[in-house]
Structure 1
């Protein structure tokens, strides 16, 4: 508008020849009114913590040769104070930047005014605030005495400037007795009321607290601590993988009984005695038969003679800090031995017996091969029959039954068992209605740990 007034004044000054001096379209464009953008305030609001904060004010003009920027402090009615602005031209536009430092004493609503060539203008307000003081109040970890592994409820309230502070992240931390540092446990969000709560596991005696890390408008704060004492309860135990084999078993032959003892966690429990119990069919009483001590992997292995059909199980009586437990039961049927043959029979032989690999690692499979043959009028042919595997531990004078297997129609025998002790192995063929029995040669295998 001011530029248009100037053009009109020139026309009046030249008199009647003014019509010849009417400005061209380009001249009108050159005298177009300047424009100015909104003012960007950063940061906004301006929050003062412990140090002064410098705010930056930026705006853009077009078609203006100069610009001004003014601020009015809270309470200064009608008084604007100029602030230095620096230009940064870019084509037809110019970016203007002003800065000012604010302190806590500057808190309140400020007004600003930006001018382009003293004509175009933009104005507005922004806030300067003091950072909010926060508190975590009424913090509680409950109950104060618990068993190890039980749950605790931790709760409290976050306040800012004495009012509920909702929607904020609060960290629950814990310091164990005998340590110096708090460690992160979990994070919760405050409700609109400022209250928060969480359930945590109690692993050790120590101190709990809640920590608010602060944000762009509020200071950090930490609650009072609350001590919780944790007492150690006896841990549970269990016996897994219990097995009584092989079954059915001939009366008087030996059974193998194995399993693994574990402690809550569930970790193997070595060096503990496990009892093998038996309950005869038709009885309600369990009786002790034998026992074994678990190895470093918690495994046990025992042998027992089978006299009657019934249930077998393993029992652990417990130890300091660990409760006892019992395995599941395993039913074994005992059958009568086969009566000796009465008629004339053909001779048999067990040849090429071999136990391998040698040596073998304890608990790994040991494999056995052999061949069963029958005398058929002077020719030795492969023979299909049931063969039993026996074992004699090193230092013992007695072989014990391990398992039964079958030679195929070609007489070939193959089986495997897990090796637990060093000793000698052999196959025994008891014969049948047409053949006499035979015993293979023996093979000694060392078992290493």
Structure 2
């Protein structure tokens, strides 16, 4: 607040004594009253003291003043205060006055100041207060990373509490860091913000065994701090597996003939899983018991192929019992009808797969691609629709190998329809392998582009 004090027989009592200000001598005609600005303090209050004293600079400007003074009063000080030496910097009718004062931790509290500008006949003053603070001591307590044992890629919860001078310190950013076993340095992972109570918590993904901790970098008012470390052990999760494209054929089959079993074993990814044994099991119609029949070891493309003699109708499936680091899996079951031997049939007739079409073209990746066609057989010179099992195959762009996709049944009128999701560009076809009465046939091929 800016105020002027006219020096006209004014007395200021201090303690037991008194300071009298005598009337000033007559000023020269036209003398101007001094003007004083607000006091600027740098660094701006509050002045926070960490380990070393902090020197604050006080400055103000006067106009039409011959001299100036600055007094600082410490917390609880009942005296008039301590004068601060000022250095003037004249600029025309204005003068900038600058002084410094050093503060340390013992000076914490609310200070007051009084700045006075002395003119030829008047005085002007401004006063105010500022605060000196001791830096807050912080501590991160109750830090915890849980659970202590997880599988690779699992989420863990890290939590703790940030205290400042023993109280919860809210609204502060805490960094979560991690040091992997076998290394020396902690690396930044994520950050969390403390609640009003000082508590913080967040979830992070654990990919390796090592130590977790929380770090507070400090701020203008508080010191930095680091929590204790907490170790989390990470074990490698077993990969899942699956058997795709399992097929038992031919269907139907005569008793005593050979059945062939094919499929592909894959591990999560889904990459081929070579060098693993896949067993073939059979469950007769009306039975609840699966019985082991034969097995094969997968090749480099994960494919297996086994054969067995057809004895009776029933279900077939492939079983992978798992291996070190890989979980086991079971294929879908495939029913095969076994017919009793009959006299040699008459010569087989031809069949044909016509009107095969894959659409839409092109198709967006991950959207359904639809297929239609028609299966017909030659019945005494007339082509008629035929209901039978037809297989859908796919050859990716750039590949020379056809991949089995799925099996569909044609209606009694021979119509075929199915759909699958499209992931890669390539060529499609349908195959009827034939049966006891009719030769097999392959449809025309249809190339479909897959767009992202």
Distance 1:331 1:431 in 2: 20
DSSP-derived class of the 1:51 partner: coil
Q: Do the aligned partners of 2:266 and 2:272 also contact (CA within 8 Å) in 1?
A: yes
Which of residues 256, 262, 268 is equivalent to 1:257? 262
Q: What is the CA-CA distance between 1:273 and the residue it aligns to?
A: 2.2
Q: Is 1:275 the counterpart of 2:279 in the alignment?
A: yes
Q: Deviations over 1:232-253 (max 9, x none)?
A: 4762522053342788666658
Q: Do the aligned partners of 2:84 and 2:99 also contact (CA within 8 Å) in 1?
A: no
Distance 1:161 1:438 in 2: 86
Partner residue, 1:123: 127
Partner residue, 1:410: none
Q: Deviations over 1:48-90 (max 9, x none)?
A: 222333334454556767655443344542123124355485x
Distance 2:27 2:96 in 1: 33
Which of residues 300, 305, 330 is equivalent to 2:303? 300
Q: Is 1:159 the counterpart of 2:163 in the alignment?
A: yes
Q: How does 1:57-206 map to 2 (within 5 A)?
A: 57-59=58-60, 68-76=69-77, 77-85=79-87, 87=89, 98-117=99-118, 119-142=123-146, 144=148, 152-200=156-204, 203-206=207-210
Q: What is the CA-CA distance between 1:195 and the residue it aligns to?
A: 3.2
TM-score in terms of structure 2 length: 0.58
Partner residue, 1:340: 346
Q: What is the CA-CA distance between 1:262 and the residue it aligns to?
A: 1.1
Q: Deviations over 1:145-189 (max 9, x none)?
A: 566666655443322223332332333333343332233344333
The structure whose Rg is larger is 1
Q: Deviations over 1:112-134 (max 9, x none)?
A: 23344553322212222222222
Q: What is the CA-CA distance between 1:36 and the residue it aligns to?
A: 1.9
Cα 1:43/1:32, change in 2 over 3 Å: closer
Q: Deviations over 1:312-362 (max 9, x none)?
A: 4332111124332223334567799994249xx9x9xxxxxxxxxxxxxxx
Q: What is the CA-CA distance between 1:294 and the residue it aligns to?
A: 4.0
Q: What is the CA-CA distance between 1:431 and the residue it aligns to?
A: 9.8
Distance 2:242 2:327 in 1: 12
Partner residue, 1:325: 329
User: Which range moved further: 123-132 or 72-81?
Assistant: 72-81
User: Which range moved further: 94-103 or 128-137?
Assistant: 94-103
Distance 1:3 1:438 in 2: 121
Q: Deviations over 1:266-293 (max 9, x none)?
A: 7654432223434444333334455444
Tell me how many residue pairs correspond in the alignment.
357
Distance 2:70 2:337 in 1: 102
Distance 1:228 1:159 in 2: 25
Structure 2 residues without counterparts, runs of 5 or longer = 9-22, 351-382, 392-406, 409-426, 442-452
Cα 1:33/1:94, change in 2 over 3 Å: closer
Q: Do the aligned partners of 1:306 and 1:334 also contact (CA within 8 Å) in 2?
A: no
Cα 1:315/1:106, change in 2 over 3 Å: same
Cα 1:269/1:3, change in 2 over 3 Å: same
Q: Deviations over 1:78-111 (max 9, x none)?
A: 123124355485x997766554443334333322
Cα 1:295/1:104, change in 2 over 3 Å: farther
Distance 2:293 2:61 in 1: 97
TM-score in terms of structure 1 length: 0.58
Distance 1:201 1:290 in 2: 43
Distance 1:219 1:34 in 2: 42
Q: What is the CA RMSD across the aligned residues, in angstroms?
A: 5.4
Structure 1 residues without counterparts, runs of 5 or longer = 12-22, 348-382, 390-402, 405-414, 419-426, 440-449
